[in-house]
Every structure is written in C-alpha cells, then in structure tokens.
Amino acid sequence: MSSPQLNTDPNPTIKTASKFGFWQLWNMSFGFFGIQFGWALQMTNTSAIYEYLGASPEDIPILWLAAPLSGLIAQPIIGYMSDRTWTRLGRRRPYFLVGAIFSSLALIAMPNASSLWIAAGLLWILDTSINISMEPFRAFVADVAPDEQRTKGFAMQAFFIGSGAVFAALAPWILNNLFQIDASSQGGATVPLTVKLAFYIGAAVFLGTVLWTIFTTPESPPKDVQAFYKRVERTGGLLNAAQSIWHSIIETPSTMKQLAGVQFFSWLGMFCLFLYLPTAIAHHVFGAVQENSEIYTQGIEWAGICTAVYNGVCFIFSLFLSRLTELTNRKLTHAVCLIIGGLSLISLISIHDQYLILLPMVGLGIAWASILAIPYSLLSDALPDKKMGIYMGLFNAFIVIPQIVAALGLGWVVANLFDRDRLLVVVLGGFSFLLAACLMPLVKDEVSAGDKASEALKQEQLV
C-alpha cells in the first residue's frame, strides 16, 4: 500500500447517484460490527481489569485518561489526512486497515497485562488504533452513500454498533456458561480466562469484518488523477495540515457548534456509564467485596448481560429510528430518546435486583441508538463535502473532551462527594443526559430548515 497523499480538490471523488440496496448498505457498514466488538470489550472490561490489577475506585477515571486523549489527538488528524488521501486501496479504507491491524494486536495483549501501568499503556494503543479505524467510517458513509440515504446509512452503522456490542458483552458469559470455561481469576492479578478468550475472539472479528468492508465496498477515484497529484505536491507538509485544521475550526458550521453541547453532555453521561456500571453492578447488586472473588466475576459477567441488553435494544431500535424521524423530526426524536435514557439511569438508584436492572437498560438502549445516529445525520447535512472527514474528526472532539473532564474530575468526586459509591456516578450520567436533551431545541436542522431533502427522507426506511 502506498503512503497517504494530500488533496485539496474541492470534490475529489465521483459519488454514485443511484440508491443503495440493503446489501450495499450492509457491506458498507459491516466493518463497524468488528470495530464496535473491540470497542465494547474495552468499555465493558477495562475497569474490571484495572481492579483485578489492584486499582481503587478513585483511581479508575485517571487510568482511563489515555482513551479520550488519544481520540482528541488522533481524530482530527486522521480526518484531515483521509480527506486528502488517495491510494490503490482508496480514500478511507487504508485507515480502516491500519487501525484494524494494530487494534487486533492490542486486544490480544490487553488482558495479559501484568501491571496497571502496562494495562494503561495498552489502553492508549488500543484506543488510538480503534480511532484510526472508526473516525473515517463516519465520513465513508457520507462519501459513498447517496445524499438522501445518509440517515439510513448512519442508522445501519448504529445497527452494527449495537449488535457488535451485544456479542462482545455476552462473550465472557457465553464462554463460561455455554462452553463451561473456567471464569475464576485464580488470584487478584489474574484476568479470568473467559475474558482473555473474549479479547482474542474480538481481535479476529475486528480484523475480519473490516477486511469485508474493504473488499466489498469500493471508493471512487478522483475525477482528475493527474491534477490531484499536482495538488498533492503543492499542499503537503505539517504546516499546511495545521493551517487547514485551524481554518476548519474557525469556519465551524453553526449546526456543529449547536450540537457541541448536546454531544458533550450525552457523552459525559455515557462515560460515567462506561467507567462504573460493571463494577457498580458487581459491588452494589451482587455484593462483592473482593475483586478476586467468584461473586465479583459473576457481577462483571452480569454487567456484560446488561451491556448486551442495552446494545441489543440499540440495534433493534435503530431499525425504526429513520421512520421515527420522518413521523416527527430529528431534533424531537433525539431529545425524547435522551430523556428516556436519562430517567432510566437515574432509576438505577432504587433497583437492587439483578433482573430488574435489565429494565432501565431498555431505555438506555433507546438513547444509545439515537446518540450514535441522529447527531451525525444532522451534522452531515450541514458540512461541505470537501471537508467531511476533518469536520467529522473535529466533531468527535465533543465526545472526547467530556471524557477527559470525567477522567480528570470523577476520581475526586467519587472519593470526596460520593463516598466511593460507583452507582452514584452512573446516576450522575443520567442527569447529564437530561441536560443534553434540554439543549436540543437550540440545534438547527438544515434539512428541515431548507426543506432540501424532506421528501427523500420520508421515503427512507432501514428495512
């Protein structure tokens, strides 16, 4: 594969005018199943791995700092580069492949970390690699799918995000209960074999599904290849890259600015969940005291079931998300979904039964499906095609900045305000969802405002 090239052509690729069929949309987004499989393994198990290695509750947030920092650095750079890339493999696909290879290697190494600092370092590598694959996938949909099918394309991504997370979250439980593989940790610093095997499976799934998308969904070449390479010679270099990213920040579309607050509070809520839901269930619902106990492992496995439930609801609900936006509008749909998710998380404070805790997971799944699809659909209609990748990368800053805030501040909150109660952090995430919902009326929907694609959207359904 040749090295990435830089491009300033305002419309570098030829986009198909014909509508995509179901299997084209499937193939285009299938790689996201593997990406989410690996990402969900990271989200569901990393805090537990840290506790297996001796971390205390207040240590967990700062140990996660690598994940959002890597995203903040990598996403706009990868977005900028992928906007200006053309190789024999295409425009976005080289990044899918490189990220998948390194992510798979990191997934194999992560559960075998022998100390906290090694685990934290591997999280940095894993999250950076996932970002390299994930960020261009958002722009890939906008590049390849016809304009009127963007909402449908992002909903298909949400479907694979949900389904990938379901299988990832269930993997340790399935290996223990169906395949009778020993799940005990055999000591405080030993990750259970079921978790290790789940990570190995995730590595294979990640690479395999990304390769499927690469080989089944082609990208169109630049309209004028020779002119493209001439521009490459004139615009290469880090200085031009930095200037382009800075100018893009200055010229940020108003819709993106309006969505920034919504994304901030949505993902602050999700990060509270990612950090503490598994360990909160193990300690507060199952009553585990020691991290190397069998009951703690059972609690973490049940947290995987909870994660599977909300992600399962996510991918089922995503099938109907496009239709709901047609019946109402995208802004109202997203606000209502966030309110349902917020109230669901807040309700966890009064639930102490492992089965009843599955009910709020349904509401969380509804919010999760909307978070993964509607903001990107709203944004893509407000962005210039020539900067789709870089703006998608910059937009993801509003995902990672709240994670950095959480990583730097939640440890103090847990130790000094919440008396080390992990469940209170998850409830705090519910209130963050409600704040995000309150900001939705301030967002301008470009499609509704300009009426430029309303009729096309009304004809779109995912299935």
Domain limits of the chain?
22-222+237-458
Quote the tokens at residue 259: 């969505």
**pLDDT tier at 254 (50, 70, 90 boundaries)?**
confident
Q: What is the mean pLDDT of residues 96-103?
A: 95
Does the structure show a pLDDT above 90 at 100?
yes
Whole-angstrom distance, CA of residue 332 vs CA of residue 325 = 8
The predicted model gives 256-270 an average pLDDT of 93
Average pLDDT rounded to a whole number, residues 243-263? 81
Cα–chain-centroid distance for residue 197? 22
Position 349 pLDDT exceeds 50: yes
| Residue 51 binned pLDDT confidence (cut-offs 50, 70, 90) | confident
Looking at 188-329, list the stretches that DSSP marks H as alpha helix, in order from N- to C-terminal side.
193-216, 225-235, 238-250, 254-280, 294-327
Contact 25, 247 (CB under 8 A): no
Instruction: Report, as an integer, the average pLDDT of 376-399.
Output: 76
Q: Which residue has the higher pLDDT, 223 or 78?
A: 78
Torsion of CA 27, 30, 31, 32, to 10 degrees: 140
The confidence score (pLDDT) of residue 109 equals 95
Is the pLDDT at 199 greater than 50? The verdict is yes
Q: How many CB atoms lie within 10 A of CB 417?
A: 12
Q: How confident is the model at residue 19 (pLDDT cuts 50, 70, 90)?
A: confident
Predicted local distance difference test score (pLDDT) of residue 238 = 58
Lowest mean pLDDT among 111-115, 160-164, 273-277, 380-384: 380-384
For domain 22-222+237-458, give the fold: Growth Hormone; Chain: A; (1.20.1250)
Neighbours of 461 (CB within 10 A): 13
pLDDT at 183 over 70: no
Mean pLDDT taken over the chain: 82
Quick check: 7 and 225 in contact, CB under 8 A?
Answer: no
CB 98 within 8 A of CB 158: no
State pTM to two decimals.
Answer: 0.74
- Sequence-distant (≥ 6) Cβ neighbours of residue 342 within 8 angstroms: 269, 367, 430, 431, 432, 433, 434, 437
Residue pLDDT, tens place only, 405-432: 988 899 899 989 998 888 999 999 999 9
Closest CA to 52 of 171, 169, 185, 175: 185
Categorize the per-residue pLDDT at 6 as very low, low, confident or very high, splitting at 50, 70 and 90: very low
Lowest mean pLDDT among 13-27, 195-209, 354-368: 13-27
Residue 235 pLDDT: 59
